[in-house]
Amino acid sequence: MTAVLSVQDLHVTIGKGATTANVLRGVSLEVQPGEVRGLVGESGAGKSMLGRAVLGLLPANAHIERGTIRFEGRDFLGMPERERRGLLGRRIALIPQDPMTSLNPVKRVGAQIAMVLRHHLALSRRQALQRAAELLAEVAIRDPQRVLGLYPHEISGGMRQRVLIATAFACDPSLIIADEPTTALDVTVQRQVLQLVERLRQRHGAAILFVTHDLGVVAKLCRTVSVLHAGRVLEEGATAEVLTKPRHPYTRALLAATPRADRPADSLRPVPPELVESLWAEAHRIDRLPVAERA
Amino acid sequence: MVDLAVSAPIEHTSPWTAALKRGGPRLWLGGAVVALLLLVALLAPLIAPHDPLEQDLLSAQMPPAWMHGGDASFPLGTDSLGRCVLSRLIYSSRIAVSVAFIAASLAAAIGITLGLVAGSFGGWIDQLTSRLIDVWMAFPPILLSIVLAAVIGAGLTSVILAIVVVDWTRFARIVRAETMVQLQRDYAMAARVIGMNRGQILRLEIVPNLVPLIVTLLAVEMGVAILVEVILSFVGISVAGDTATWGGMIAEGRQIIYQSPWIMALAIGCVIVSVVGFNLLGDGLRAALDPVQRQ
Amino acid sequence: MNDILVRTGSLSFAYPERASTLFRRSALREVVKHVDLAVPRGSVLGLVGESGSGKTTLGRLLVRLLQPTSGGIQFDGVEIGHLGEAELRPLRARIQMIFQDPQSSLNPRLRLAVALTRPLQVFGRLKGRRDQRDRAAELLDLVGLPPHFIDRYPHELSGGQRQRAGIARALALEPDFIVADEIVSGLDVSTQAHILLLIRELRKRLGLTLVFISHDLSVIRVLCDDVAILQHGEIVESGPVAKIFERPQHAYTRDLLSAIPLPDVEPGWLTDQREVSVPHQQGSAA
């Protein structure tokens, strides 16, 4: 079975000359069809950058120094631009973080979903709107016909996120990148949204790369997880394993630093600064190697 | 501590150097032009080859020195009354500069004060001030100055007054809006929590955040003031008599445009250079003074 | 010496939904409804709620950034609910607030030396520039930041460092009571842990009384002695943290608790919830 996504030894930098920053330092990971992979890390770990690289949406000043990305066996980075763009939204989709800025405030919800459908599936306007209504119903929005005619600011944050999820699943993609889609949501809404994502995933059979900083979300949704720090994958494996028997000290430290509602107050342990320092020292050592020698 | 990466003492380049770098070529160019203008205005008696009012009818309408029929003693030629064009251009800068600085500063002083009051008091005070501004802004400035000139007589005072009376609204409106925005910020609320009264908050917290905006507006306003003065002296209701003004020179030059086109061209050139200089300076200052938010 | 430092009685706050005109008084939107709280001296009370619960408004009422529409607030036995600014001023030295986003709660144009000692300046407790720098360095030391940071601007600090600076400023006047409004939301797990432990340590060292506002129940568990659950402006349940977390009585509390994704793999979590389809909700953030 070909992996849906195969990233090998990806090195990405941003900027030039004196202000170059290494954001990914040799990241490798594989996602199988239908797998839900959590990509967990703190800010600056490079998880969003990895998601963008896979979508082909790296910022203009980013360079891929080394490494490959294969999507369904095809060389993603080597593809002509046009072909890559054809895949976006159709075979690879994104659930973005901030529903407020991801939806066009001056277009109605229905029009926005329909636009995506028509772009990729060559449907007529009426067919697209019909399908959009079906999608809204799938994400458990009551009265979808009415919502189609509303503007983004007329619906709540949770609903907006559902619209974005509906749009992501619209063309039955084989891979969905979810970039912290529940971070800004209330915890009860978050649960509903996660349940929804799981249900849709089962129905449409998509693989999901779920980017988050929340270990709890990973535990509930993701079968496997990769832990990132300073652009490197420090640990990966089945979520159940990684969370109960973490092998890397950083994973252990992260778990110990996560407050838990079911544990007494003094169980919280900060991440030891020496650990962070040594991780960064290692990262910078890699930076100093010439590109050809990094593996 | 985890934030060790940022804990090393930042080599603090002096804030001035940093600001100058941010300002870029616009700051340099604009600054140079304005500085030159100021210098010319200040040193006029020293650098002008002739008395700008001195007429020499025998040398009327001479072309610039490098053209056939020109004379080195009148580097840019003479007008129809035999007055040295170069000297008149130089002395005109005094009018331009005094109008620019005095009128702009007064307009700023009034506008900023009223803007702060309206923005911070809100309620009926704001309503009143805003309506006042609306009504006032509806006045066509040139018309107003003509009326003023009729009432208090032509002259520099009425020009300055006309500019101040119209343009204070521009400052007031922008400062009012920005004050309201800043007062919504958390730091303004934090200031209230520590017991600062309205005056203290405005003076110590808000105004420092308005400085970049105000400085920029001021620079641009100076350019505007010069233009207004030029228009008014073109029409003949600025300074009295045959005091040299660019506007006056444009008007006179227009009469003899076929015989001595350079008079009008040079005067217009001076106006353009001055106004562009102030605009560039304003633009450069805005970039230079707004570091903190840009990061 | 009063055992309860802060007490509220039927505290309410409402504001008009639209600006009233001459002809029509606008309907009032009640954000805080008849809230009764009692915060013992030296304790930490957690205020939990989702968006729209009114917790931020309640926090601002407690600090008298807002004036209650009705009901009372007592601070150390003194009724402060309807005091004017002049009378409130001396009390302000004892009641402080730490804001959620230090990016915006620290004046971007002021160096820390000035920003942190501003409270002292306002109360006339500074004795010149040397004193200002010394006090600023002391405050930074309290929160674990190096003294040379006094010359930095907020944008020259990391998120966690900024939050510490915000905490330092709240401590400048040596207050008795601090309201912390979502101060660790948006921070990384490791940074959050540091800040929480810092707050715990400061509370013990300085004998502070705290009201800690958060939407994150796990954070509340770590820091608070008591907790009050807010929904739509009302307190639906309150009590000691252990009791509420282990034996929640109210349905909403139970919903909240079960919705927290703990970092344990739990196969039924995603599927065994009753299907809740989402009705159209006007414009709220949830």
Return the biggest CA–CA distance within chain A: 61
Mean pLDDT of C225-247: 95
User: B185 contacts in C (CB within 8 Å)?
Assistant: 104-105
pLDDT band at B295 (very low <50, low <70, confident <90, very high): very low
The pair of structure tokens assigned to C283 is 């414009």
- Chain A: nearest CA to C120, how far in angstroms? 32
pLDDT attached to residue B80: 85
CB contact under 8 A, A219 and C263: yes
Interval C109-125: pLDDT, tens: 899 999 999 999 989 88
Asked if residue C58 has pLDDT above 70, the reply is yes
Q: Which amino acid is it at C170?
A: A
Find tokens 């990973």 and name the residue.
Answer: A218
Q: Quick check: is A140 in a domain?
A: no
Top pLDDT among C189 and C102 is at C189
Within the 34-63 window of chain C, which residues sit less than 8 Å (CB to CB) from chain A?
A: 50-51
Asked if residue C281 has pLDDT above 50, the reply is no
Suggest the residue from A262, A266, A271, A279 to mutate for an interface test with chain C (most C CBs closer than 10 A): A262
Interval B206-219: pLDDT, tens: 888 898 889 989 99
pLDDT attached to residue B285: 87
Q: What is the DSSP letter of C267?
A: G
pLDDT attached to residue A185: 84
Q: Which amino acid is it at C24?
A: R
> B177-181: long-range contacts (C-beta < 8 A, 24 or more apart)?
B177/B119, B178/B119, B178/B209, B178/B210, B178/B213, B179/B115, B179/B116, B179/B118, B179/B119, B179/B120, B179/B206, B179/B210, B180/B119, B180/B122
pLDDT attached to residue C278: 42
Is the CB of A107 inside 8 Å of chain C's CB atoms?
no
Q: Quick check: is B134 in a domain?
A: yes
Q: Quick check: is B162 in a domain?
A: yes
Asked if residue B124 has pLDDT above 90, the reply is no
Mean pLDDT of B170-194: 89
- Chain B: nearest CA to C137, how far in angstroms? 14
Within the 186-215 window of chain A, which residues sit less than 8 Å (CB to CB) from chain C?
A: 186-192, 194-195, 198, 213-215
Report the 3 state secondary structure along C132-197.
Answer: HHHHHHHHHHHCCCCHHHHHCCHHHCCHHHHHHHHHHHHHCCCCCEEEEECCCCCCCHHHHHHHHH
Top pLDDT among C161 and B137 is at C161
Q: Quick check: is A94 in a domain?
A: yes
Rg (CA), chain B: 24
Interval A217-249: pLDDT, tens: 999 999 999 999 999 999 999 999 999 999 999
Find tokens 């704001």 and name the residue.
Answer: B126
User: A273 contacts in B (CB within 8 Å)?
Assistant: 1-2, 4
User: C257 contacts in A (CB within 8 Å)?
Assistant: 261
CATH code, A244: 3.40.50.300
Asked if residue B8 has pLDDT above 70, the reply is no
CATH code, B176: 1.10.3720.10
Q: Quick check: is B20 in a domain?
A: no
- Chain B: nearest CA to C75, how far in angstroms? 15
Top pLDDT among A207 and C28 is at A207
Interval B230-260: pLDDT, tens: 988 888 888 877 788 999 999 989 998 888 8
- Chain C: nearest CA to B129, how far in angstroms? 19
A182, A161 contact by CB (below 8 A): yes
Say how many CA atoms lie within 13 Å of C188 toward its Cβ: 20
- Chain A: nearest CA to C112, how far in angstroms? 25
In C, minimum Cα distance to A196 occurs at C270
Chains that touch B (3 or more CB pairs under 8 A): A, C
CB contact under 8 A, A254 and C275: no
CB contact under 8 A, A277 and B4: yes
Asked if residue B3 has pLDDT above 60, the reply is no
Lowest mean pLDDT among A260-269, A286-295, C30-39: A286-295
CA geometry: angle A247, A251, A252, nearest 5 deg: 75
Q: In chain C, what are the domain boundaries? A: 1-17+27-94+179-257, 105-174
Sign of CA dihedral A210, A216, A220, A222: positive
Lowest mean pLDDT among B183-187, C15-19, C229-233: C15-19
pLDDT attached to residue A15: 86
Mean pLDDT of C255-270: 89
- Chain A: nearest CA to C131, how far in angstroms? 32
Q: Quick check: is B113 in a domain?
A: yes
Q: Quick check: is B155 in a domain?
A: yes
Q: Which amino acid is it at C242?
A: A
Cβ-based neighbour number of residue A266 at 10 Å: 9
ipTM, two decimals: 0.84
Q: What is the DSSP string of B52-73?
A: TT---GGGTTPPPTTSTT-BTT
Mean pLDDT of C72-80: 93
Is the CB of A157 inside 8 Å of chain C's CB atoms?
yes
Mean pLDDT of A130-145: 91
pLDDT attached to residue C23: 64
Alpha helices in chain C (DSSP H): 55-62, 85-92, 102-105, 112-122, 129-142, 159-171, 189-206, 217-223, 241-246, 251-259
In A, minimum Cα distance to C160 occurs at A43
- Could you list the residue range(s) of the whole structural domain that residue B216 is in? 26-45+84-290
Find tokens 């025998």 and name the residue.
Answer: B58
Find tokens 């006007």 and name the residue.
Answer: C282
Q: Quick check: is A209 in a domain?
A: yes
Q: Quick check: is A255 in a domain?
A: yes
Cβ-based neighbour number of residue A149 at 10 Å: 12
Is the CB of C96 inside 8 Å of chain B's CB atoms?
yes
CB contact under 8 A, A261 and C260: yes
**Quick one: which of A281, A259, A284 has its CA closest to A270?**
A259
Interval A185-229: pLDDT, tens: 889 889 999 999 999 999 999 999 999 999 999 999 999 999 999
Is the CB of C274 inside 8 Å of chain A's CB atoms?
no
The residues of B whose Cβ lies within 8 A of any Cβ of A are 1-2, 4-5
Q: Quick check: is B51 in a domain?
A: no
Sign of CA dihedral A124, A125, A127, A132: positive
User: B7 contacts in A (CB within 8 Å)?
Assistant: none
Share the mean pLDDT of chain B.
85
- Chain C: nearest CA to B185, how far in angstroms? 6
Mean pLDDT of C58-65: 94
- Chain C: nearest CA to B206, how far in angstroms? 9
Mean pLDDT of C31-38: 94
Share the mean pLDDT of chain A.
90
Q: CA separation (Å) from B104 to A51, A127, B144, B163, B168?
A: 52, 62, 17, 8, 9
CB contact under 8 A, C65 and B205: no
Instruction: Give me the residue from C260, C266, C279 closest to A187, CB to CB.
Output: C260
Q: How many beta-carbon contacts under 8 Å exist across A and C?
A: 161
C224, A179 contact by CB (below 8 A): no
- Could you list the residue range(s) of the whole structural domain that residue A255 is in? 5-106+151-293
Mean pLDDT of B12-28: 74
Asked if residue A277 has pLDDT above 80, the reply is yes
The pair of structure tokens assigned to C232 is 């739509």
The pair of structure tokens assigned to B69 is 């029929």
Distance (Å, rounded) from C-alpha B19 to C-alpha B13? 10
pLDDT attached to residue B48: 87
**pTM as predicted:** 0.82
Chains that touch C (3 or more CB pairs under 8 A): A, B
Find tokens 């008009």 and name the residue.
Answer: C16
Interval B49-106: pLDDT, tens: 888 888 888 888 888 888 888 888 888 888 888 888 899 999 999 999 999 999 999 9
pLDDT attached to residue C272: 66
Is the CB of C256 inside 8 Å of chain A's CB atoms?
yes
Distance (Å, rounded) from C-alpha C238 to C-alpha C217? 13
- Chain C: nearest CA to A80, how far in angstroms? 38
Query: Per the structure, how many domains does chain B have?
Result: 1
Is the CB of C99 inside 8 Å of chain B's CB atoms?
yes
Suggest the residue from C57, C104, C107, C190 to mutate for an interface test with chain B (most B CBs closer than 10 A): C107
pLDDT band at B1 (very low <50, low <70, confident <90, very high): very low
Asked if residue B294 has pLDDT above 50, the reply is no
SS3 for C87?
helix
Mean pLDDT of A64-92: 89
A11, A291 contact by CB (below 8 A): yes
pLDDT band at B19 (very low <50, low <70, confident <90, very high): confident
Within the 141-200 window of chain A, which residues sit less than 8 Å (CB to CB) from chain B?
A: none
Q: What is the DSSP string of chain A?
A: ---SEEEEEEEEEES-GGG-EEEEEEEEEEE-TT-EEEEE--TTSSHHHHHHHHHT---TTEEEEEEEEEETTEETTTS-HHHHHHHBTTTEEEE-S-HHHHS-TTS-HHHHHHHHHHHHH---HHHHHHHHHHHHHHTTBSSHHHHHTS-GGGS-HHHHHHHHHHHHHTT--SEEEEESTTTTS-HHHHHHHHHHHHHHHHHHT-EEEEEES-HHHHHHH-SEEEEEETTEEEEEEEHHHHHHS--SHHHHHHHHHS--TTS-GGG--PPPHHHHHHHHHHHHHHHHS-GGG--
SS3 for C284?
coil
Query: Per the structure, how many domains does chain A have?
Result: 1
User: C245 contacts in A (CB within 8 Å)?
Assistant: 261-262
pLDDT attached to residue B6: 44
pLDDT attached to residue B70: 80
CB contact under 8 A, B185 and C93: no
Distance (Å, rounded) from C-alpha C177 to C-alpha C5? 8
Mean pLDDT of A133-138: 92
pLDDT attached to residue C275: 42
CATH number of C1-17+27-94+179-257: 3.40.50.300
Find tokens 């490079």 and name the residue.
Answer: A46
- Chain A: nearest CA to B2, how far in angstroms? 5
Asked if residue B144 has pLDDT above 90, the reply is no
Chains that touch A (3 or more CB pairs under 8 A): B, C
pLDDT attached to residue A21: 87
Return the biggest CA–CA distance within chain B: 86
Mean pLDDT of C75-103: 90
CB contact under 8 A, B1 and A280: no
Share the mean pLDDT of chain C.
88
CB contact under 8 A, B2 and A280: no
The pair of structure tokens assigned to C267 is 């196969």
